A and B are shown apart, each in its own frame.
Chain A
Amino acid sequence: MAKIPRDFLETAGSLLPVTLVVLLLQAALGFLDAEGLARYLGGTILSTAGLLLFLRGVNISLLPLGELVGGQLPRVSSLWLLLCLAFIVGASANAADPSLQILAQHMKTTAGEVSPALLLLVVVAGIGVFVSLALLRIALGLHPALLLGLGYGLVLALSLVVPEAAVPIALDAGGVATGPLTVPFLISLGLGFVSVLGGRNTSSDGFGLLGLAALGPVLGVMLLGTVLG
């Protein structure tokens, strides 16, 4: 018997429970016609195959690349250059994330007044700014809980003040932006960065990057909502 690769089982398995729920609901509600059902199953197969190839590619190229870039960044001569590079790297990785394209599709369905392109730009820039901030925090050796507490407190406060229509989509943007490409890339970027700086508690210093990066899009979209009223 041919050995089935582990990552195939994991990927296919992660879509299985949802498919079961959808099929049960189909039996109960009959919300799909034959074409719709074929669409769902075909889409599931395509997505499974795609995720599988994608995850292989992440292991071969994205993780080593993140560590390489993270390891090179501390060698940069000036702090400003480091922050600019961190912004560019963080924003570029985020721009490639499939979750952003899904968000753009959702935006089309709601047909809001904000153009999806502008929203995506703000999200990507937000990630860039907060990746810079997170690396700055590591370089300065500040307590990770301090920035996280302040940042999330700020989000909480702003969510009560900014225009109501902007709040749900802004809060969602943080979770959407930290998608399947951004997360592994940023983790390896942080690990590479911390390992070169050395000396400090590497395991705990590497954490906190994602939580902080997720704040960027939230604050960015809230700001956008305020500007546009």
Chain B
Amino acid sequence: MKRLVLALSLILAFAAPSLAVQPDEVLDDPALEQRARDISGDLRCLVCQNQSIDDSDAELARDLRLLVRERLVAGDSDQQVFDYIVARYGEFVLLRPVFQAHTIVLWIAAPVVLLIGAGALVFAVRRRRDDSGGGGLTPEERAALEQLSKD
């Protein structure tokens, strides 16, 4: 039994996941480290499912974290770091999509839907107000309108 436990703990030592950010990765300069963490939070771990490299245990994520820190120590700006990583790993690595021709629909979809919705509401209100001017009301509508103004 003891041998089994020993064997299993060996498996454990090799198979168990490593942690995300490791202490030996952390930069000495806290400001630089914070920038590294922020950038890592916006970069995708390529072998995981929708995880940032900051959260991921994967080996590749660790490599990327080190790369980010290396560039920061070398004096790159945040944008330069992103450009550097994208040049190597492609746009897929960005958790926050860029704002360009091919992503314009993505970025403006929500505002446009909101505007269309709001526009439709304003239109509906206007039309109703015009109707209440008198023309083209059915008797029920007129009754409803009177009811409304009574309350």
A complexed with B = no
- Chain A positions within 8 Å of B, measured between CB atoms, are none
- Chain B positions within 8 Å of A, measured between CB atoms, are none
